[in-house]
Amino acid sequence: MRPGRQRRRLRRRLGALLIHAVLAGGAVFMLLPMLWMLATSFKPPPEIAVWPPHLLPQAPTLANYRGLFQAVPFPRFFGNSVFISVISTACVVITSMIAGAVFAKYRFPGRSFLFMLVLATAIVPFEAYMIPLYIQLVRLHWINTYQAIILPWLVMSFGIFLLRQHVASAIPDELMEAARVDGASEWWTFRRVLVPLSGNAMAAVGIFAFIQAWGVFLWLLLVANNEHLFNLEVGLTAFQFRFSTDYGKLMAGSTLSTLPMLIVFLLLRRRIIENMALTGLKG
Amino acid sequence: MSVSTLDRPLPRPLPQGEGRRKIRRHLRLWLWCYAMLLPVLAIYAFVRIWPIARTVMLSFYNWRLIARVRPFVGLANYERMFSDANFQIAIWNTTVYSLSIVLISTIIALPLAVVLARRGRMSAVYQTIYFLPVITPLVPMCIAWKWIYDYNYGILNYILSLVGIPPIAWLTDAHMALWALVIMGVWKVLGFNLVIFLVGIRNIPASYLEAASLDGANELQKFWRVTLPLLRPILLYVLVTATINAYNVFTQVYVMTLGSQDAPGQAVRVLVYDIYQNAFQYFRMGYASAEAVALTFIVLGLTLIQFRAFREREAG
């Protein structure tokens, strides 16, 4: 009896060890691209083209970062990314809150139709209707302007859906009724009752909007061919096409482009993961 | 979901004047609703509804940006799609790419989620690490992966050389390029699937698993007989969402392969790239719109499956 139990315990320990080994191996695979990128960005050119490669730089240098700033208007790209993302996030949160609240708490003719229309447009991928949108902006002479870049990212059907769900289920009608009895206007009720009670849901929508706007790529490629309008994603791509083999500088640029999002993620880690898990939307 | 105040039946009978006041109040409320929604709906009309309708319209025309005459051609664009080798390759590549990513990432994420659902001390740390690729911006990571895949000095070929595998031209070999993109795609989406599965598994009542244990089921049997069947709706949801996302792939292909001259263009031609090329390099907006409609129908079909999954989840 004893040896059997011991063997079983041993087997369980071995099993746990194996699981940890697999998890750790997977973690290395997930982190490897970022670590490899970071390490390469500090390597002087001779160390980059060396076989076998060293994981860590032997003579770390900032030359790649300095070279990057000389080669491309990197701060400009960064500023554009921030600008586009902030404007888009603000607009998405505001439009989603307004539409979400109206769809959740009011009855009016055409309500379901309009709500379904808003949701239905979310099913069609953006790539499928970017052509007419582009033609339209050519006619307006909006090509190479910020408004053209930001335009498609001012609204988000998913944001409206999420805030409608939140307002409908989490804010009792009695609160609004009480405000009305006190003579409050509808706008006052919206501003002072619905908005303050929707902070978390608005933050969730804001995070999605920010991630989405930060990653704008194809659309910007279409409507902007002026370097001054590029965000980090497109700027880095253009830089890559020009210096396709200068991996030191490329990795420096990639590291700097990844860093802001990484910091935001590590700060809001739990919230972002929970939001994504609960709502099931990919960023 | 709560029911709006205005749904409740009006108290009856009403004195004459009060009834009229009530109606006026309703009208004012309606007006207020429309006024609030107007800016939002105006944006929708301009950036979503009109372009979507227009895409369908364009698909029936021989519509070129640079041509003066843009004749109506009926279904000719659609007919042409069926004999267009590029389009067929694009559909095939996109499908292979999507299904591979979805299947591989699900098969890896599912057991990981079962293990991580046990709330070990390290569970949160692993979740964070596995989730990192989901959140990191795409282009920098594409460039980092391109460097990993480098034929001469890439770390992947180095690791393979340690176990005696000769170097592989990941991004330039026509047989490998799509799979190189698949590996990166799995890396990117794995954490997302993992976290969704994790929530699903943690929502399974502990009593079910305890009952199975009492009946003498081992871990594997518990997984097959209890966890997996209860996870079915979420599984279906993840499969469909990931497939839809993968069908819209563009950035990876553009950044990692098409920039280099020796890229195997046909081997990595995907649907959105084909649309992009036809519309914005050859200016065949009409034909590209027909392709866009095809993409929409694929996504629409997948979405219908997803709705069914949701209904199942709500019912179950």
How do residues A211-258 score in pLDDT, each as one tens digit? 999 999 999 999 999 999 999 999 999 998 887 778 999 999 999 999
Q: Are B230 and B208 in contact (CB under 8 A)?
A: yes
Q: Which residues of B275-303 are buried (b: 16+ CB within 10 A; e: fewer)?
A: bbbbbbeeebbbbbbbbbbbbbebbeebb
Q: Per the CB < 8 Å rule, is B143 touching A251?
A: yes
Per residue in A73-103, pLDDT (tens digit) is: 999 999 999 999 999 999 999 999 999 999 9
> Is the pLDDT at A141 greater than 50, yes or no?
yes
User: Quick check: B122 contacting A, CB < 8 Å?
Assistant: yes
Q: Per the CB < 8 Å rule, is B51 touching A109?
A: no
Do A30 and A130 lie in one domain? The reply is no
Among residues A61, A83, A98, the one where a domain terminates is A61
Q: Are A234 and A217 in contact (CB under 8 A)?
A: yes
Q: Are A161 and A115 in contact (CB under 8 A)?
A: no
So what's the pLDDT on residue B12? 52
So what's the pLDDT on residue B315? 61
Q: Per the CB < 8 Å rule, is B47 touching A151?
A: yes
Among B residues 256-275, those touching chain A with beta carbons less than 8 Å apart: 259-260, 272, 275
**CATH class label, B77-315:** mainly alpha
Do A139 and A160 lie in one domain? The reply is yes
> Is the pLDDT at B5 greater than 50, yes or no?
no
CA pseudo-torsion sign A141, A142, A145, A147: positive
> Is the pLDDT at A201 greater than 50, yes or no?
yes
Q: Per the CB < 8 Å rule, is A176 touching B5?
A: yes
Confidence grade of residue A11 (pLDDT, cut at 50, 70, 90): confident
CATH number at A126 reads 1.10.3720.10
| A258 neighbourhood in chain B, CB within 8 Å | 136-137, 140-141
User: What's the average model confidence in pLDDT over B226-238?
Assistant: 86
Among B residues 99-118, those touching chain A with beta carbons less than 8 Å apart: 108, 112, 115-116
Residues ≥6 apart with Cβ < 8 Å to A218: A127, A130, B250, B251, B254, B272, B276
So what's the pLDDT on residue B3? 43
Share of chain A above pLDDT 90, in %: 66
Please tell me which residue, B222 or B52, carries the higher pLDDT value. B52
Confidence grade of residue A197 (pLDDT, cut at 50, 70, 90): very high
So what's the pLDDT on residue A274? 79
Rounded distance between C-alpha atoms, residue B270 and residue B265, angstroms: 10
Do A17 and A129 lie in one domain? The reply is no
| B158 neighbourhood in chain A, CB within 8 Å | 51-53
Torsion angle (degrees, nearest 10) of CA B33, B35, B41, B45: 140
Q: Quick one: tokens of B58?
A: 């364009």
> Is the pLDDT at A283 greater than 60, yes or no?
no
So what's the pLDDT on residue B1? 40
* pTM of the predicted model as reported, rounded to 2 decimal places: 0.89
Confidence grade of residue B313 (pLDDT, cut at 50, 70, 90): low
Confidence grade of residue A281 (pLDDT, cut at 50, 70, 90): very low
Q: Per the CB < 8 Å rule, is A129 touching B255?
A: no
Q: Per the CB < 8 Å rule, is A272 touching B135?
A: yes
CA angle at B64 for the pair A122 and B284, rounded to the nearest 5°? 65
Q: Which of A80-94, A145-159, B29-43, B112-126 has the lowest mean pLDDT?
A: B112-126
Task: Name the residue type at position B74.
Answer: G
> Is the pLDDT at B312 greater than 80, yes or no?
no
User: What's the average model confidence in pLDDT over A45-57?
Assistant: 85
Q: Quick one: tokens of B286?
A: 């009409």
Shortest CA gap B204–chain A (Å) = 15
User: Quick check: B251 contacting A, CB < 8 Å?
Assistant: yes
| B90 neighbourhood in chain A, CB within 8 Å | none
Chain A interface mutation, best of B10, B44, B234, highest count of A Cβ atoms under 10 Å = B44
Q: Which of B6-15, B66-75, B81-90, B119-128 has the lowest mean pLDDT?
A: B6-15
Do A47 and A70 lie in one domain? The reply is no
Q: Which of A93-107, A117-131, B72-86, B223-237 has the lowest mean pLDDT?
A: B223-237
Per residue in B132-162, pLDDT (tens digit) is: 999 999 999 999 999 999 988 889 999 999 9
> Is the pLDDT at B105 greater than 50, yes or no?
yes
Number of domains chain A contains: 2
So what's the pLDDT on residue B262? 61
CB atoms within 10 A of CB A55: 12
> 3-state class of A33 per DSSP?
helix
Confidence grade of residue B2 (pLDDT, cut at 50, 70, 90): very low
| B248 neighbourhood in chain A, CB within 8 Å | 125-127
How much is the mean pLDDT over chain B? 87
Do A44 and A144 lie in one domain? The reply is no
User: What's the average model confidence in pLDDT over B54-74?
Assistant: 90
How much is the mean pLDDT over chain A? 90
Do A102 and A192 lie in one domain? The reply is yes
CB atoms within 10 A of CB B83: 8
Confidence grade of residue B122 (pLDDT, cut at 50, 70, 90): confident
User: What's the average model confidence in pLDDT over B7-14?
Assistant: 51
Q: Per the CB < 8 Å rule, is B112 touching A26?
A: yes
Chain B interface mutation, best of A51, A103, A273, highest count of B Cβ atoms under 10 Å = A273
Q: How many CB pairs under 8 A join A and B?
A: 284
Rounded distance between C-alpha atoms, residue B141 and residue A233, angstroms: 10
Do A269 and A173 lie in one domain? The reply is yes
Domain region containing A41: 2-61
Short-list A133, A147, A35, A37, CA closest to A91: A147
Do A103 and A132 lie in one domain? The reply is yes
Place of tokens 């429309």: B34
Q: Quick one: tokens of B224?
A: 């097959």
> Is the pLDDT at A129 greater than 60, yes or no?
yes
Burial (0-12, 13-18, 19+ Cβ within 10 Å), A128? buried
Do A119 and A200 lie in one domain? The reply is yes
Share of chain B above pLDDT 70, in %: 91
A133 closest CB neighbour out of B30, B51, B280: B51
Share of chain A above pLDDT 70, in %: 97
Rounded distance between C-alpha atoms, residue A114 and residue B213, angstroms: 50
CA pseudo-torsion sign B138, B123, A272, A76: negative
Do A176 and A258 lie in one domain? The reply is yes
Residue-level length of chain B: 316
Do A224 and A135 lie in one domain? The reply is yes
Share of chain B above pLDDT 90, in %: 53
Q: Per the CB < 8 Å rule, is B48 touching A129?
A: yes
> Is the pLDDT at A142 greater than 50, yes or no?
yes
Please tell me which residue, B20 or B91, carries the higher pLDDT value. B91
